[in-house]
Structure 1
């Protein structure tokens, strides 16, 4: 994974973000010491990334050549939730 978190961060979470706008977005995480994360996302592009729960994903869009902060999201809210395993449709408990 590009820009992996430093090894001292053991409480990592897998996060998911989608650019649901019709504009290109720049996303950044700048509040993790010794680490900087920045990506450009096109409209409807999705991204999985690792972070720590208390970090913030900053979302920017360019307006008149200037990147404006439009959202700041706690990474804990972007954490991928693992669904409970559903029984296989090929297996029936009835006999």
Structure 2
């Protein structure tokens, strides 16, 4: 497990979904300007979702190691892997 953090610097509510090995699953709502800290398996995939006019929108994907507490990622910075179009 690795300590991760994600700061929502946008003005929208985001949903963080994290899936990993051995049925690991975490889903949290992150309010604007809130910092979410959590533990996840090293190989876990973290998805950042929001709700647009057409329904849920995937806005970014990150590996858990990219979000390790030492590095951290801001929602507005666009760091990490972007969601497919």
**TM-score where L is the length of structure 1:** 0.67
Counterpart-to-counterpart distance in 2, 1:52 and 1:58:
14
Structure 1's unaligned 5+ residue stretches are 1-11, 82-95
Larger strand share, 1 or 2: 2
CA RMSD of aligned residues (A): 1.3
Structure with the greater relative contact order (CA < 8 A, sep ≥ 6): 1 or 2?
A: 2
Structure 2's unaligned 5+ residue stretches are 71-85
Residue 42 of structure 1 pairs with residue 31 of structure 2: yes
| Count, aligned residues | 70
Query: Which structure has the larger Rg over C-alpha atoms?
Result: 1
Aligned ranges 1:73-84 → 2 under 5 Å: 73-81=62-70
